[in-house]
Amino acid sequence: MAAPTTSDVPSNPVEHTQVLLRRLEQNGMPTADAEEAATLAAQLREVVRFHDRKYYVEDAPLIPDSEYDRLFHALYVLEEAHPELQTPESPTQRIGGEPLDAFEKVAHPEPLLSLSNAFDAQDLRDWYDRCRQGLAGVLADDEPLHLSAEVKLDGLAVALTYEDGRLVVAATRGDGQVGENITRNARTIRSVPLRLSTPPDDGLPLPERLEVRGEVFMRRSRFDAFNERLRERGDAPFANPRNAAAGSLRQLDPTVTAERPLSFLAYGVGPAQGTVPPTQSATLDWLTRMGIPVSSQRARFDDIDAVVDFCEAWVDKRDTLDMEIDGIVVKVDRIAYQEVLGAIAKAPRWAIAYKFPAREATTTLRDIEVNVGRTGAIKPEAVLEPVHIGGVTVSQATLHNADYIADRDIRVGDTVVVKRAGDVIPQVVRSIPEARTGEESPWAMPARCPSCGSAIVRLPDEADYFCMASDCPAQFIRLLEHFAGRSAMDIEGLGSKLAVLLAEEGLVTRLSDLYDLSKDELLQLEGFAEKKAQNLLDGIEASTAQPLHRLLTGLGIRHVGRDVALRLVHAFPSLEALAEASHESLTAVDGIGPVTAESVVDWFAVEENQSLVEDLRSLGVNTERQPEEAPPEARGDAASPIAGATFVLTGALDGFTRKEAKTAIEQQGGKVTGSVSGNTDYLVRGQNPGSKLQQAQEREVTVLDEEAFRDLLEQA
């Protein structure tokens, strides 16, 4: 086949992509004919650049990664065969060169300033009043002062200089006056365009020279996977995405940087030769049109009240993003007004950073206690010198498991870093060995259950130690809490305190005792009067009508969370039918594997459990499947297990990119969020899962591997 001549080149890049892919399929690459090779290389570069932009800038890829890889590879092969075709801006030329001995210094033509901080709404309003005062000569009292607000990315500031649309220098911020030349490293970051696109005819041509300012950072998901890889190789993991980004960008060998999953987002421009837009918000739109990625988490406002709302809303939403943000930057939108306001010392008057409350603090680890969960898992918990973190006093935090403590050499008496992220339980992140006095003592898992005194064991393939006693009081208290909890029987008023009280007073020693409680018994309990007792009895009575999958979830059978319970109830119309089910009939149920099947069979084989089921039924608790729990086939589309469910993704999947997985979920009416919370229904785990996996396990969120995820999609 002859090379397509310019006249047969489709002007639409999507169509062009397909033409090139077909051509690759039929003829392969490269070509011996120099002229043909030159045409093809130019076309491939154009198409690869187009898809880079779709992916990195617009966050809307059009082709699967595999097709992109084929185009990229073809270009690479072609340029190898015809080195004269290589241009410095070719997408294949991101990596190259020998390691440096040191970074060259770069003087910034205009300093990169820092920002003053606002810690609350009042600080923001005071700043706004100062801006209005400063603009009194140019802005009438009744004229609105437009503001632009953007997320403040927690990474490293860099300045990218483009000349005639080509990236010529990338520099770190340094001290604001002089930075380091990291051009070769910046070129390896896929979201940094090597060449700018000419903005569509909107009156502003490509400037002759333009400094783009922005932040280099590592996405949280990439960071988790990257750290996991480091750990597997036996290298020390990074403490947070910011350190990982800094360590990666300041590598003297660009091939090392190239392997690090860095991203870039611009937030403004520095000096320019050429015309630039008149406002901050228009500048960011303009950068996007030139192919430079900017965050979409930004907005323009007419007054400070709306800005305050925007900032405060982000305090709770920060964990929904796949990147760390530490605040919101608010800027006077009009550049002419920014110039009137100018700067004081090192920060501009026209911008301010609203800082989120800190989420990490250091304190003393007073002791490590162990807690017994309802499955008997023994979990170490930190007893802390109380410390204020993000508006809450924290005196306890999770230490996950014995390996976690040993791997990090955390000792009783240590000064430790404690983190409270979103609605995740506070956790001890690491210790600070430098602060040791010699009084600290290493910790070991106790040999006996703190509740019942029986020996505890570590099961193969489990990170946790377990108390195996079936009559362990602590396990029963946790089970009772779980049974009454929101995902199970949802009994109002029965929380952990009351569970302890009911169990310790001997009023409830097995789950069915709940349905036998009398008002007189309750009235003898501390803190109970007529009304409270009646409310609790009403709540218990109401729970007898709960759908079967909730009862099944509440029984606390290992591996039977809400999702598995639903699947089981689809297949078996009553608790009695399930009790009779064989291992084979259980594994025949979609989504039920041999481990879960065994756990179910074992549970129903225990005589005590059989009599529990019988007692619950005779006390009026519903043990039959209800119509809305019938299998999806019988209910129509609304029953898609994905519709309405919230997913979190962690690690790399083989058959999907992140985006493909997200789209697939969203197409079925599900939602994908960035972090595990009380609302998460499923965690999809790929290879090298991050800390989200552990968080999901702690919250007993259903974890799907790629195959189970695929099955779920198929069902939907």
Q: Which are the catalytic amino acids?
A: 152
With respect to ligand IVH, which residue has the nearer C-beta, 113 or 204? 113
Site residues (CB under 6 A) for ligand IVH, limited to 166-185? 173
Of 402, 514, 385, the residue nearest 466 (C-alpha): 402
Amino acid in the structure at residue 433: P
Residue 319 has a CB neighbour count (10 Å cut-off) of 19
Coil, strand, or helix at residue 240? coil
Per CB under 6 A, 657 contacts ligand IVH: no
With respect to ligand IVH, which residue has the nearer C-beta, 267 or 604? 267
**Piece of 112-120, 523-531, 633-641, 675-683 that binds ligand IVH (CB under 6 A):** 112-120
Per CB under 6 A, 150 contacts ligand IVH: yes
Per CB under 6 A, 242 contacts ligand IVH: no
Name the minimum Å distance from CB 153 to ligand IVH.
4
**Piece of 110-118, 255-263, 416-424, 575-583 that binds ligand IVH (CB under 6 A):** 110-118
Name the minimum Å distance from CB 292 to ligand IVH.
14
Per CB under 6 A, 268 contacts ligand IVH: yes
With respect to ligand IVH, which residue has the nearer C-beta, 113 or 178? 113
Name the minimum Å distance from CB 348 to ligand IVH.
5
Which pair of tokens denotes residue 88? 């410095």
What is the DSSP-derived secondary structure letter of residue 624? B
CB 599 within 8 A of CB 558: yes
Position among 49, 53, 82, 152 found at the interface with ligand IVH (CB under 6 A): 152
Coil, strand, or helix at residue 5? coil
- Positive/negative CA dihedral, 534, 538, 539, 543: positive
With respect to ligand IVH, which residue has the nearer C-beta, 115 or 308? 115
Residue 189-218 contact track with ligand IVH, rule CB under 6 A, x = bound:
--------------------------x---
Name the minimum Å distance from CB 188 to ligand IVH.
20
Site residues (CB under 6 A) for ligand IVH, limited to 115-134? 115
Site residues (CB under 6 A) for ligand IVH, limited to 334-353? 348, 351, 353
Name the minimum Å distance from CB 322 to ligand IVH.
16
Per CB under 6 A, 522 contacts ligand IVH: no
With respect to ligand IVH, which residue has the nearer C-beta, 350 or 465? 350
Which pair of tokens denotes residue 683? 């965690």
Name the minimum Å distance from CB 267 to ligand IVH.
3
Residue 193 to residue 75: CA distance in whole angstroms? 17
CB 139 within 8 A of CB 214: no
With respect to ligand IVH, which residue has the nearer C-beta, 326 or 624? 326
Per CB under 6 A, 159 contacts ligand IVH: no
**Piece of 51-59, 111-119, 503-511, 572-580 that binds ligand IVH (CB under 6 A):** 111-119
With respect to ligand IVH, which residue has the nearer C-beta, 79 or 333? 333
**Piece of 108-116, 204-212, 232-240, 425-433 that binds ligand IVH (CB under 6 A):** 108-116
Residue 510 to residue 512: CA distance in whole angstroms? 6
Amino acid in the structure at residue 102: A
Which pair of tokens denotes residue 259? 């392997």
∠ Cα 559 660 225 (to 5°) = 65
What is the DSSP-derived secondary structure letter of residue 690? -
Per CB under 6 A, 113 contacts ligand IVH: yes
**Piece of 1-9, 150-158, 482-490, 694-702 that binds ligand IVH (CB under 6 A):** 150-158
Burial class (CB in 10 A: 0-12, 13-18, 19+), 513: middle
Residue 346-385 contact track with ligand IVH, rule CB under 6 A, x = bound:
--x--x-x--------------------------------
Residue 368 to residue 354: CA distance in whole angstroms? 36
Per CB under 6 A, 153 contacts ligand IVH: yes
Torsion of CA 130, 131, 132, 135, to 10 degrees: 120
Which pair of tokens denotes residue 163? 């000349």
Per CB under 6 A, 329 contacts ligand IVH: yes
Per CB under 6 A, 395 contacts ligand IVH: no
Residue in the shown chain whose Cβ atom is closest to ligand IVH: 157
**Piece of 90-98, 138-146, 152-160, 701-709 that binds ligand IVH (CB under 6 A):** 152-160
User: Residue 425 half-sphere exposure, CB side, CA atoms within 13 Å?
Assistant: 17
Coil, strand, or helix at residue 196? coil
> SS3 sequence, 236-256?
CCCCCHHHHHHHHHCCCCHHH
Per CB under 6 A, 262 contacts ligand IVH: no
Position among 56, 223, 238, 267 found at the interface with ligand IVH (CB under 6 A): 267
With respect to ligand IVH, which residue has the nearer C-beta, 154 or 464? 154
Position among 18, 86, 87, 114 found at the interface with ligand IVH (CB under 6 A): 114
Of 210, 198, 34, 197, the residue nearest 110 (C-alpha): 210
Which pair of tokens denotes residue 369? 């206690």
With respect to ligand IVH, which residue has the nearer C-beta, 115 or 402? 115
Beta bridge partners of 369: 381
Per CB under 6 A, 501 contacts ligand IVH: no
Phi, psi of 589 (to 5 degrees): -80, 135
Coil, strand, or helix at residue 643? coil
CB 580 within 8 A of CB 573: no
Name the minimum Å distance from CB 303 to ligand IVH.
20
Alpha-helical (H) ranges within 625-687 are: 632-635, 658-667
With respect to ligand IVH, which residue has the nearer C-beta, 153 or 569? 153
Name the minimum Å distance from CB 672 to ligand IVH.
24
Per CB under 6 A, 149 contacts ligand IVH: no
Burial class (CB in 10 A: 0-12, 13-18, 19+), 372: buried
Residue with tokens 């590879």: 73
Name the minimum Å distance from CB 338 to ligand IVH.
9
With respect to ligand IVH, which residue has the nearer C-beta, 266 or 384? 266
Name the minimum Å distance from CB 199 to ligand IVH.
21
Residue 358 has a CB neighbour count (10 Å cut-off) of 13
Which pair of tokens denotes residue 22? 């077909």
With respect to ligand IVH, which residue has the nearer C-beta, 348 or 593? 348
What is the DSSP-derived secondary structure letter of residue 4? P
CB 565 within 8 A of CB 629: no
What is the end-to-end Cα distance of the chain in Å, rounded? Answer: 44
Name the minimum Å distance from CB 55 to ligand IVH.
22
**Piece of 145-153, 404-412, 534-542, 681-689 that binds ligand IVH (CB under 6 A):** 145-153
CB 380 within 8 A of CB 370: yes
DSSP letter string, 341-395: H-EETTEETTEEEEEPPP-EEEEEEEEEEEEE-TT-EEEEEEEEEEEEETTEEEE
CB 424 within 8 A of CB 698: no
With respect to ligand IVH, which residue has the nearer C-beta, 127 or 443? 127
Name the minimum Å distance from CB 176 to ligand IVH.
8
User: How many residues in the shown chain lie near ligand IVH by CB under 6 A?
Assistant: 15
Chain contacts with ligand IVH (rule: CB under 6 A): 113-115, 150, 152-153, 157, 173, 215, 267-268, 329, 348, 351, 353
